[in-house]
Structure 1
Amino acid sequence: MSGCVERTEDGDVHGERVIAIARCWIGTPYRHQASLKGVGCDCLGLVRGVFAEITGKAAEAPPPYQPDWAERSGVDRLMEAARAHCGEPVPSGEMRPGDIVLFRWRAGVAAKHAGILSGPDHFIHAYEPAGVIESALVPSWRRRIAAVHRMPGSTQS
């Protein structure tokens, strides 16, 4: 296991591994539509990169998208992709470290931001202009949670 994380409170080994991998992305600069640890990523690129390391398989690359894609499309693509790759969402009251958290900026619009829960009150995300950081899950973030998805397990034994 990577030295990038301390153990979770509940001893969840899978969650610990997800967090360790995500924390190794901290400091990666923000780059729209990129997904390369240490070089650049956006929030989706971070989640895709961690997903690939955890599962051993890459999620398909999204088609090119503009920064305002969620406002313009009317389709909740982030939610659709999360369901396709991770299954149905879990209740937000049951979220645990290592879970993928999707955010929407306001009711009635598509989810537009993603991160990985790193503790009960913190998450890791790529945020312009800060890059990949670990942030407190303060009330202003918490009330924007649109869905929580469990990161799938490893395909390796």
Structure 2
Amino acid sequence: MPKRSEIIAVARDWLGTPYRHQGRDRTGIDCIGFTWAVAKDLGYEAEIPSNYSSHPSGNLLLTGCEKWLVRQERMQLIAGDIAIMWGFTRGEAQHFAIVGEDGARLTLIHAWSKHEKVVEHGVSSFWENRLMAVYCLPDTMEG
């Protein structure tokens, strides 16, 4: 049972890892692979789709989330959560990030193709307006 602070620490250990579509390790990783890798580093065994396009099916991704994550009814982010955001098609899941925190400010930790690596930055309105679902790892504890 991971604490939220442990989830964030493990996610930060991936900062700077190169971005690679469908990447699954430290030589290159995408946003879904990053989320999966953090879960794996914490001892979870999760399956994620492996043959999705550069603009993956939101339904395929959300089906995977429903199998191994716990959906939160709230649309408010808490550090340690997994944020699912729409991408090119509004209403269709296409991007995953782990919610971190820097003092009182929430951050997103994710593999972002625009920056070609895993990055962490504040949660701006750009990201808040794309939020479509919030999940957490099973048995996540506060702290």
Same fold (TM over 0.5): yes
Q: CA separation in 1, counterparts of 2:17 and 2:119? A: 8
Match of 1:147 in 2: 133
Task: Tell whether the 8 Å contact from 1:90 to 1:150 is kept in structure 2 after alignment.
Answer: no
Alignment of 1:64-103 (within 5 A): 64-70=51-57, 76-93=59-76, 95-103=77-85
**Deviating 4+ runs (over 4 angstroms):** none
Task: Give the Å deviation of 1:83.
Answer: 1.6
Q: Quick one: distance in 2 between partners of 1:63 and 1:26? A: 22
Q: Distance in 2 between matches of 1:91 and 1:48?
A: 22
| RCO higher in structure (CA 8 A, sep ≥6) | 2
Higher fraction of helix: 1
Match of 1:40 in 2: 28
Describe the SS at the equivalent of 2:9: helix
* Ranges in structure 2 where 5+ consecutive residues have no aligned partner: none
Count of residue pairs brought into register by the alignment: 135
Between the aligned partners of 2:99 and 2:72, the Cα distance in structure 1 is 14
Q: Deviations over 1:26-48 (max 9, x none)?
A: 000001101213x1100001000
**Structure with the largest fraction of strand:** 2
Q: Percent identity?
A: 29
Over aligned residues, Cα RMSD in angstroms? 2.0
The runs of 5 or more residues in structure 1 that have no matched partner are 1-12
Q: 2:49 is paired with a residue of what secondary structure?
A: coil
Amino acid at match of 2:138: P
In structure 2, C-alpha distance between the alignment counterparts of 1:76 and 1:59, rounded to whole Å? 17
Q: Alpha carbons of 1:100 and 1:30: their partners in 2 closer, same or farther (altered >3 Å)?
A: same
Structure 1 pair 49/14, CA: closer, same or farther in 2 (3 Å)?
same
